[in-house]
A and B are shown apart, each in its own frame.
Chain A
């Protein structure tokens, strides 16, 4: 197992190199000029040119890429062109809100989606199944920002139960932290709940038609025991796969959710960086997201072997 983990971690290196090269090239050929944004509307063309020179944007692609790669290898993601702050510091400032949002959303989604998926499979074809699948279609169809605005309107503005926006670090208390995450997590998690619930239902239906389930029923096992102890465990590999894939969905959704709820996370940092063409920051964020995604895939693979003893690495 350790050898497998080591191999997977080593494979990450060429993946990250490719991601780095790809992102750097993409930004190089993309239109836009950070110097023009920095200089402001009143700046003369000559001023913009001088700022471009100072930022080193007039240097050839290979020189800039080599310099940046060298920095990254030393663990330095560079400095934001706008703020003058290290990219690592900017990312570190934003990790907690995004991580909190993703973790709460993940927990919320799994806790809701798996049981309702199981229930839908158990009562397949009945009103409960139809209602749950109807809810899933809704979850897929309604954009995150629409759900976000609706939730904020009802639960913050009308009922005054929860805050409209913002984030409180967990160091300021558990409840302030959680109350700022409830609405964003529901908004972000809706599509995720729909996805997991549908997959759970589909895989459970397949498992529930297996012989050993019939045998279990024949020997008098209760529905709860059959569903949650025997069937769910065997249906869990595809479910875990979808949960893993869904992390990418969460990263994408976090960009919108963080904007709607003014959460200072990595999603908003990404948008700000792209709008301003803050190249070092964009590159740093994409590298971090890629690394997280590779890591999540590794964890999912390891969970497979924990869930299914036949899978060995």
Chain B
């Protein structure tokens, strides 16, 4: 190849590029009909039953509709369902679908689709599993009606079908819903207000949704997950930005419209920008957790667990997590979400007031703690968990406990916490996590308070009495009865030290001021917001 050939080649390439520039399609960027949204994390998979991450649920709400939807008072309201009827003995539930429901492929939504979807969901959801345990029959009566026959009443049926905690009961076409719940679906056809644009999906970069013209919203005004889901955009783009500084700059520059979870460090910068609005994202927030392993020493002894509980200072944890912004946190002597109807602090006094290290050390000595190292799994790639881990390291040292601090990533914590081995043999002593407030409003999604031993969540707490009370809550008919039961559950859980709440904290969301009607809730609602 000689010099002339090279020069000709460069010229030809330049010409080609220039031509491609002329032929470029007009970009939709900046259009009032396109919403650019930065979600909390990457949408790496898109099957809300197979993968139960919150980000998957949040995207799924656009594509798949639900039979019931929760309103802001946490009351399930009819969504796909037109009417329901429960027999006088409480054993047979009959549901009738509203008319006009269609899937994105043009097929009508039929009762058999709902039946198949419920069957798939109920194999993965704790509440679904509870209903399956008493199920006699779940079948379609005709195209628009199906029934669920039980062997004993289940008063929380509508709550189960409309809950916001993952996995939610999304309705898919029967052919998709017949997929094994532990295998991912490969088609993304729903009956929600937006269609998933599979061809535009670049996991880790972009997920796009286009308006489904065949969607018929309910007549009622939208409120959280209930009412008429009227989306004011032709296209919603989820732009994945792993770097908060980049997302902040993109929002300030008007390259994106809405950022789901700006970190608190960047809030002052965003607030200084007149074109940006900032508000609390989810009023139900999160509950930080100090999760203990009940199977092995030292935390298999309730006295050791209580010693930690006596000295744990929630303010230390919350300041480490959210910084100096006092609007973002509050102490929580409870396992339930503050501000929700069933919230109770009964038995939570041990988490209040001055921390008593002397009494805690005495309790440790009584328990015969002999310096066995406590293996703390601390995910360094999750800022909140890293912050809590550092506070715990200091706390346990001050308490006189030996520490085996395992600084690792969330993927490794996820693997290792499943190990029931002793801490020195690949197991663990404690790890930090958080629970969404929406899940902790009642026992429905609050898996962390369950104490079914080997069947319980990681840490495997075992306390049949607490389990008995939780089971009785499912049968409770009145709110007063429910409150009474959960007060007992809270007290017993504090005494058993099932886990230790490290505080209640909130997060912000931020959006451009030309976007109106942005509301808050456990997940970002795309019905309502409008661009000027």
**A residues bordering B, Cβ < 8 Å?**
31-34, 36-51, 53-54, 80, 82-85, 90, 93-94, 149, 152-153, 156-157, 160, 163-166, 168, 170-177, 259-262, 264, 268-269, 271-272, 275-278, 306
B253 surroundings in chain A (CB, below 8 A): 156-157, 160, 163-164
The CA of A49 and the CA of B24, in the complex, are separated in Å by 49
- Contact mask B141-185 → A, CB, 8 Å, 1/0? 000000000000000000000000111000000000000101110
A33 surroundings in chain B (CB, below 8 A): 411-412, 414-415, 418
**B residues bordering A, Cβ < 8 Å?**
1, 17-18, 20-25, 27, 42, 44-46, 50-54, 56, 124, 126, 165-167, 180, 182-184, 186, 201-206, 239-243, 245-247, 249-250, 252-253, 255, 381, 408-412, 414-418, 433, 435, 439, 445, 447, 455, 457-458
Partner of A152, one of B45, B184, B249, B416: B249
A-B contact count (CB 8 A): 173
Chain A residue nearest to B252 in the complex (CB): A157
Partner of A157, one of B20, B166, B249, B410: B249
Partner of B204, one of A40, A84, A260, A268: A268
Q: Which of B44, B183, B435 has the most CB of A within 10 A?
A: B44
A175 surroundings in chain B (CB, below 8 A): 21
The CA of A272 and the CA of B43, in the complex, are separated in Å by 11
Decide: B249 and A277 in contact? CB cutoff 8 A.
no
B445 surroundings in chain A (CB, below 8 A): 42
B44 surroundings in chain A (CB, below 8 A): 82-83, 272, 276, 278
The CA of A58 and the CA of B288, in the complex, are separated in Å by 32
Partner of A164, one of B21, B205, B250, B416: B250
Decide: A83 and B203 in contact? CB cutoff 8 A.
yes
The CA of A3 and the CA of B482, in the complex, are separated in Å by 82
The CA of A80 and the CA of B45, in the complex, are separated in Å by 10
Decide: B203 and A31 in contact? CB cutoff 8 A.
no
B416 surroundings in chain A (CB, below 8 A): 31
The CA of A278 and the CA of B203, in the complex, are separated in Å by 12
**A41-B53, A42-B447 given; A264·B205 CB < 8 A:** yes
Decide: B239 and A174 in contact? CB cutoff 8 A.
no
B415 surroundings in chain A (CB, below 8 A): 31-33, 36
Partner of B239, one of A32, A37, A262: A262
Q: How far is the CB of B158 from chain A (nearest CB, A)?
A: 20
Decide: A38 and B50 in contact? CB cutoff 8 A.
yes
Tell me whether chain B's interface is mostly helix, strand or loop, or mixed.
Answer: loop
**A164-B255, A166-B239 given; A32·B414 CB < 8 A:** yes
Decide: A276 and B205 in contact? CB cutoff 8 A.
no
**A39-B52, A264-B205 given; A171·B414 CB < 8 A:** no
Beyond A53-B182, A83-B46, A272-B44, list 4 extra A-B contacts (CB 8 Å).
Answer: A32-B409, A38-B51, A172-B27, A173-B21
The CA of A290 and the CA of B136, in the complex, are separated in Å by 57
The CA of A262 and the CA of B42, in the complex, are separated in Å by 12
**A33-B414, A83-B45 given; A165·B27 CB < 8 A:** no
The CA of A50 and the CA of B184, in the complex, are separated in Å by 13
Q: Show 5 residue pairs from A and B whose CB-CB distance is below 8 angstroms, ordered by the A residue.
A: A54-B180, A83-B45, A84-B45, A153-B249, A171-B20
Decide: B53 and A40 in contact? CB cutoff 8 A.
yes
**A33-B411, A172-B24, A277-B411 given; A93·B45 CB < 8 A:** no
**A36-B411, A42-B447, A271-B242 given; A166·B182 CB < 8 A:** no
Partner of A173, one of B1, B24, B252: B24
The CA of A82 and the CA of B52, in the complex, are separated in Å by 12
Decide: A48 and B249 in contact? CB cutoff 8 A.
no
Q: How far is the CB of B186 from chain A (nearest CB, A)?
A: 6
Chain B residue nearest to A170 in the complex (CB): B20
B202 surroundings in chain A (CB, below 8 A): 93-94, 264
Q: How far is the CB of A263 from chain B (nearest CB, A)?
A: 8
Q: How far is the CB of A103 from chain B (nearest CB, A)?
A: 11
**A39-B51, A165-B241, A276-B44 given; A152·B412 CB < 8 A:** no
Decide: B51 and A275 in contact? CB cutoff 8 A.
no
A47 surroundings in chain B (CB, below 8 A): 124, 182
Question: Which 10 pairs of residues, A with B, have the shortest CB-CB distance?
Answer: A264-B205, A36-B414, A173-B24, A33-B415, A40-B52, A174-B21, A32-B411, A173-B21, A174-B17, A31-B412
Chain B residue nearest to A275 in the complex (CB): B411
A164 surroundings in chain B (CB, below 8 A): 246, 249-250, 253, 255
A171 surroundings in chain B (CB, below 8 A): 20, 24
B180 surroundings in chain A (CB, below 8 A): 54
Chain A residue nearest to B452 in the complex (CB): A44
B458 surroundings in chain A (CB, below 8 A): 45
**A264-B204, A268-B242 given; A31·B408 CB < 8 A:** yes
A165 surroundings in chain B (CB, below 8 A): 241, 246, 249-250, 255
Decide: B411 and A37 in contact? CB cutoff 8 A.
yes
The CA of A41 and the CA of B184, in the complex, are separated in Å by 17
Q: How far is the CB of B432 from chain A (nearest CB, A)?
A: 12
Chain B residue nearest to A41 in the complex (CB): B433
Partner of A176, one of B24, B46, B56: B24
Partner of A43, one of B24, B52, B408: B52
Decide: A262 and B243 in contact? CB cutoff 8 A.
yes
Decide: B418 and A48 in contact? CB cutoff 8 A.
yes
The CA of A173 and the CA of B18, in the complex, are separated in Å by 8
A277 surroundings in chain B (CB, below 8 A): 411
**A36-B411, A51-B182, A166-B239 given; A42·B24 CB < 8 A:** no
Decide: B250 and A149 in contact? CB cutoff 8 A.
no
Q: How far is the CB of B174 from chain A (nearest CB, A)?
A: 20
Chain A residue nearest to B406 in the complex (CB): A31
Partner of B246, one of A46, A50, A152, A173: A152
B52 surroundings in chain A (CB, below 8 A): 39-43
Q: How far is the CB of B522 from chain A (nearest CB, A)?
A: 13
Decide: B255 and A163 in contact? CB cutoff 8 A.
yes
**A40-B53, A166-B255 given; A149·B412 CB < 8 A:** no
B414 surroundings in chain A (CB, below 8 A): 32-33, 36-37, 48
B27 surroundings in chain A (CB, below 8 A): 168, 172, 176
Decide: B255 and A85 in contact? CB cutoff 8 A.
no
Decide: B412 and A32 in contact? CB cutoff 8 A.
yes
The CA of A84 and the CA of B27, in the complex, are separated in Å by 29
The CA of A164 and the CA of B241, in the complex, are separated in Å by 12
The CA of A306 and the CA of B6, in the complex, are separated in Å by 13
B167 surroundings in chain A (CB, below 8 A): 42
Q: How far is the CB of A83 from chain B (nearest CB, A)?
A: 5
The CA of A159 and the CA of B245, in the complex, are separated in Å by 18
Q: Which of B201, B205, B241, B247 has the most CB of A within 10 A?
A: B205
A42 surroundings in chain B (CB, below 8 A): 52, 165-167, 439, 445, 447
The CA of A90 and the CA of B202, in the complex, are separated in Å by 7
